[in-house]
Amino acid sequence: MRNDYQYMDPDYRYTDQQTGVLRNLADIADKDALTFAEAAVVTKRSNELKAKPIRIKDADALFAIHRHLFQDIYEWAGKRRTVEINKDGKQFFPTTHFDNAIVYINNLIADYKRIDKGDKQKLADALAVILDNVNYLHPFREGNGRTQREFIRSLALEQGWKLILNSPDDSEVYDGYMQGTINSDVEILSKLIYNQLL
């Protein structure tokens, strides 16, 4: 599966012009070293969220989760991206319309919270729609997938369900998640989430 992101950032707001590496708080200039350092700090912060999840009232929690996960590595943790992103030629939501998207996601969250906690199928369907819209929004320059998986996990938890979408050893879950998000396939996401809700 291809993973080709393109960023419209002619002013190099996020990357070093010479190395192409994301500017970071540790001043790491090597891409592989940054990937390693980022993974270490995000894993630590992710474990903190497993122990004490951020409550999801609205889409602001998405930004709080990103800030928590990436606070040790990026100055812009928890802040909206200011550049346009596309993947494999598909444009993510334009930054100029973020406010409209956030209002829509807030409505989806409110609808989700009204679903009976025992209705696993409706919960899975609603979580799939939220995930699809959050993924299309892609509000951050880096770390969208990790943030949205924690966001969806926390939403499920608030309705009394355990949900794991980022198991490193389960290629079937990973492939389903990637196929569903890349292709904006809510049916795949709903089935995946339903099967992972415990």
- What pTM does this model have? 0.96
Identify the band that residue 26 occupies on the pLDDT scale cut at 50, 70 and 90: very high
User: Which H or E run contains 120?
Assistant: helix 120-137
**CATH code: domain of residue 67:** 1.10.3290.10
- Provide the pLDDT for residue 153: 98
- Provide the pLDDT for residue 137: 98
- Could you tell me the residue range of the domain that residue 77 belongs to? 5-90+98-196
Q: Is the pLDDT reported for residue 157 higher than 90?
A: yes
Q: Which of 156, 164, 165, 152 is nearest to 120 (CA)?
A: 156
Q: Which of 193, 31, 48 is nearest to 125 (CA)?
A: 193
Dihedral, CA atoms, 190, 193, 195, 198, nearest 10 degrees? -140
Q: Is the pLDDT reported for residue 51 higher than 60?
A: yes
How much is the average pLDDT of 60-69? 98
Q: Which residues are within 8 A (CB) of 170 and not within 5 positions of it... i.e. 6 or more apart?
A: none
pLDDT tens, position by position, 88-120 = 888 999 999 999 999 999 999 999 999 999 999
Number of domains observed in the structure of the chain: 1
